[in-house]
Amino acid sequence: MQIYCSVTFERKNMDRKEAIKLSAMVALLGLTDISGLFAAINNEKETRSFHRFRMGKLELTVVTDGHILMKPVQPNFAPGIAPSKVEQILEDNFASKQEVDLGINILVIRSADRVILVDSGCGSNFGRNSGWLLANLANADIKVAEVTDVVISHAHPDHIGGLTDNSGQIVFPNASVYLSRIEHDFWMSPSPDFSKSKLRDNTLKNLVVEIARKNITALKPRLQLLDDGAEMLGCIKMQMAPGHTPGHCVVQLYSGSESLYHIADLIHSQVLSLEHPEWGFEGDTDFELAITSRRKVLEKLALSKAMVFSYHLPWPGIGHVRRKNAGFEWVRLPSVLPD
């Protein structure tokens, strides 16, 4: 374990374009109070760590890229639902009624001959509360040059943004990158269709498109496009779960008879998205389709009792999905050791 002290974001060094971009990204994520992004971290020498476990022949490591504070809860979550209902559910689950704090859990898979990342975090797009991936890979003794593959669940900036650095250079010099063909075609089309989303701000949508295109273009020589059900690298199967974005995938990881489902952005709250999958998420590209996919996959996970890895649920994002009333609940896998 090493002391974490890599903080690169400084407000005074930000030019106007960067400031506008940051403000817009913050607004996209529903942050009305941006002071948190600029505030100094209380203890610059906070220790970060990693969570490591085995599944069959695979060594799995979870590292954090930081976190994203979504504030207020509505309309980021449950747009159009009576606030009293939403607040009651949050209260019943001892959750904050003011905000939902999203983790950014990055799964690293080491097999006999590969080191595979699932998603790449925010990179430098969101300021100092995220973009911690590289420092924390180093903490976990994983070298950037030994990463052979990066599987991208979908091309939103908090998943694809870590593929390139501030100057547009590729971060993982030896890695192939995998992305669903539908996802690629959507973001690279002349005018991506957001008509079924509840998100209305065109400036923000344009910015998300810009970051997706920047990364896809930079990685083009290394990019492999996948269709639904594609199997690769001896341990991964991609499964389309569209709605959050058109080509959004969940990633089934397997070794022998063991499986783990990386559910990417199927859910963003361990309370609201599970108890009421139909209340929806404002940032979904197709609001209704996302609800259908969410319910369908959650149903499958509850039935199979599969182990689940979630990108945005609280650290380290590992648990199970269980039925609860007409919806579901998250059962976090306990860990006997501190992280």
- State the burial class of residue 16 (Cβ atoms within 10 Å of its Cβ: 0-12, 13-18, 19+): exposed
From the list 9-17, 73-81, 232-240, 264-272, the region that binds Zn ion by CB under 5 A is: 264-272
- Taking the complex as a whole, the smallest distance from the CB of residue 63 to Zn ion amounts, in Å, to 16
Nearer to Zn ion (CB atom), residue 158 or residue 183: 158
- We find the least distance from the C-beta atom of residue 159 to Zn ion, in angstroms, to be 6
Least distance to Zn ion, CB of residue 142, Å: 21
Q: Which stretch binds Zn ion (CB under 5 A): 16-24, 139-147, 185-193, 259-267?
A: 259-267
Among 65, 119, 158, 282, binds Zn ion (CB under 5 A): 158
Closer Cβ to Zn ion, 265 or 275, answer by number? 265
Please report the DSSP string for 186-251 in residue order: HHHSSS---TT-S---HHHHHHHHHHHHHHHHHTGGGEEEE-TT-EETTTEEEEE-TTSSTT-EEE
> What is d(CA 325, CA 329) in angstroms, rounded to the nearest whole number?
9
Select 51 or 248, whichever has its Cβ closest to Zn ion: 248
CB 334 within 8 A of CB 314: no
Degrees, nearest 5: CA angle 38-202-188: 100
Q: What sign has the CA pseudo-torsion 12, 14, 20, 24?
A: negative
Q: Tell me the sheet residues that pair with 331.
A: 320
Q: Does 282 bind Zn ion (CB under 5 A)?
A: no
Of the pair 103, 319, the CB lying nearest Zn ion is at 103
Measured in degrees and rounded to the nearest 5, phi and psi for residue 106 equal -105, 125
Diameter of the chain measured on Cα atoms: 53
Q: Give least dist CB 266 to Zn ion, A.
A: 10
Which region among 91-99, 167-175, 216-224, 262-270 touches Zn ion (by CB under 5 A)? 262-270
By CB under 5 A, residue 284 contacts Zn ion:
no
Q: Which is nearer to Zn ion, 149 or 265 (CB)?
A: 265
Q: By CB under 5 A, tell whether 265 contacts Zn ion.
A: yes
Contact residues for Zn ion, defined by CB under 5 A: 158, 265
